[in-house]
Amino acid sequence: MIRVAIVGDIGSGKTYISKLFGYPLFNADFEVSKIYKKDKNCYQKIKTQFPKLNFSFPLQKQQLIKCILSNPNNLKKLSKIVHPIVRKKLNLFLKKNRNKKIIILDIPLYFENKINLKNDIVIFVQAKKEEIKKRLQRRKEYSSKLLKIFKKIQLPLDVKKRKSNFIIKNNFSNNSVKKALKYIINQIKKNDRSRT
């Protein structure tokens, strides 16, 4: 199994790129939102951790954002509760797809949470700053303060870029991105054949 990880800036279009591959995909953000909606055990742990905050089930994004903005350290506390659950879901996904030739990992804290393995293929998604800003402003939960808090727990972009095998310049045009993906997939397959 070849593990392909997609990394890059917040709002650079990692999920958009991940879906275009057409291979089994593990999207950590999607899994987290499912946990908040369906996992009562997780909800109880969050409620216990933050007794002064008014959480209700299913957990709402706005409640969690309020929690993080009230104290940046709360993001770490939330992560300690949620990340082990996400890791379990990742392990199940890997087990389920162990016979697949290629799988895609769209995990924002892929390096930070030490999910990376030596033979993983890492693709860095690069997009223009103005484009990223435009995309983020369209998101309801966007705020520059929230963005700063999230960026503090992430590795600098130039470090992620250096650790990557490929770079995709995302101009959000299907054709040029698909062309770049086709080239990368061919290279990955070629390198895999030369290793066997």
Q: Which pLDDT does position 195 carry in this prediction? A: 58
Over residues 14-59, the pLDDT tens digits come to 998 999 999 999 999 999 999 999 999 999 999 999 998 888 999 9
Can you tell me whether residue 6 is helix, strand or coil? strand
Q: Return all residues near 54 (Cβ < 8 A) that are at least 6 apart.
A: 63
Helix (H) or strand (E) segment spanning residue 94:
helix 73-96
What span, in angstroms and rounded, lies between the C-alpha atoms of 16 and 178?
11
Which of 69, 74, 62 has its CA nearest to residue 140? Answer: 62
User: Phi, psi at residue 25, to the nearest 5°?
Assistant: -125, 130
Measured from the Cβ of residue 195, the count of other Cβ atoms closer than 10 Å reads: 7
Concatenated DSSP letters of 27-91: EHHHHHHHHHHH-HHHHHHHHHH-TTS---SSPPHHHHHHHHHH-THHHHHHHHHHHHHHHHHHH
Q: Which pLDDT does position 115 carry in this prediction? A: 92
Over residues 59-102, the pLDDT tens digits come to 988 889 999 999 989 999 999 999 999 999 999 999 999 999 99
| CATH 3.10.20.30 holds for 2-195 | no
Q: Which pLDDT does position 144 carry in this prediction? A: 80
Stated pTM of the model? 0.89
The answer to whether 8 and 126 have CB atoms below 8 angstroms apart is yes
| Max intra-chain CA distance, the chain | 58
Over residues 138-192, the pLDDT tens digits come to 876 677 888 888 888 899 999 999 999 999 988 776 677 888 899 999 998 888 7
